[in-house]
Amino acid sequence: MELVCPAGNLQSLKAAVDNGANAVYFGLRDDTNARHFAGLNFTAKTAHDGLRYAHDHGVRVFMAINTYPQPSNWSRWQAAVEQAAGLGVDALICADIGVMDFTANQFPELPLHLSVQGSATNDQAIRFYHRHFGIRRVVLPRVLSVRQVEQVVQNSPVAIEVFGFGSLCVMVEGRCLLSSYATGCSPNTYGACSPAKDVVWQDTAEGLETRLNHVLIDRYAEGENTGYPTLCKGRFEVAGKTGYAIEEPVSLNTLGILPQLQSIGVSAIKIEGRQRSPAYVGRVTRVLRAALDACTRDPQHYQPEPDWMAALAAVSEGAQTTLGAYDRPWQ
């Protein structure tokens, strides 16, 4: 299985390449990608430098153009596709039908991958995108069990990529509404959940508070670990009790089921985290590289090493990991 790693900047790209990525994915410094945060992503120069570094090391490069343009700003998405083609990236990761149609017609030689933001969870949806736009790979949303993933793989006309490690969200990818409700900026069009312009941190007598467009998201006691404020992972008072009313901070970790994913025909394992640091990218890539190599050598006797699990737990949200929707034993 191919290891696909995040690159939020040039340093992260190099960390992924140096620690064993087979492919890296990145976006431009605008709202055409779903990690539109200040200080992240690539300019024309750093994209060129990153592409050259990756290709010099035999690593493929995918560009994410996976948000949804509106009639008034279509020109930015068109320009992003043209820039990707000019750079010579190995594939585009897209979600919007218009973007895929433009790419397929103008640059038919440029491979298309369907983004997780496209929210395709069955082979009929995949066949639609394959038939009309010639997609070559699909990134599945993190809502399917291993058995359901297997059914998709068996019937899909293209390769299947799944997430192997990183943050989870209660929303189905491509269908988030909470951040849009609070800020007026949809993650699907603006490219960011909890836009930085709406985030405020403030020391108060009750603790460090974080707000999203004046909505209180969380309050931290002195010395308590803090996280980036999102509505789905905030703590709220419900029925007289304060806690994670919607979702607890936790990270997906598939080390324990890599042989299963390999045996059912998954083509690629993806690490979430373009918003993370180069140190995070390097550590997680290194662990997943070692695990995938061990799984490939001897899947029958493969077991996750305690050191791998500890390394991933240390960078997991809430210091917790889970198999998420993959683990549904009642199926």
HEC string for the chain: CEEEEECCCHHHHHHHHHCCCCEEEECECCCCCCCCCCCCCECHHHHHHHHHHHHHCCCEEEEEECCCCCHHHHHHHHHHHHHHHHHCCCEEEECCHHHHHHHHHHCCCCCEEECHHHCCCCHHHHHHHHHHHCCCEEECCCCCCHHHHHHHHHHCCCEEEEEEEEECCCCCCCCCCHHHHHHCCCCCCCCCCCCHHHEEEEEECCEEEEEECCEEEEEECCCCCCCCCCHHHCEEEECCEEEECCCCCCEEECHHHHHHHHHCCCCEEEECCCCCCHHHHHHHHHHHHHHHHHHHHCHHHCCCCHHHHHHHHCCCHHHCEECHHHCCCCC
| Residue ranges covered by each domain of the chain | 2-168+250-326, 178-244
pLDDT tens, position by position, 159-198: 999 999 998 877 777 677 788 888 888 888 888 888 888 8
Identify the band that residue 331 occupies on the pLDDT scale cut at 50, 70 and 90: low
Residue 238's pLDDT is what? Answer: 92
CATH code for residues 2-168+250-326: 3.20.20.70
In the chain, pLDDT over 90 holds for what percent of residues? 74
Query: How confident is the model over 115-146, as pLDDT tens digits?
Result: 999 999 999 999 999 999 999 999 999 989 99
- pTM given for the model: 0.93
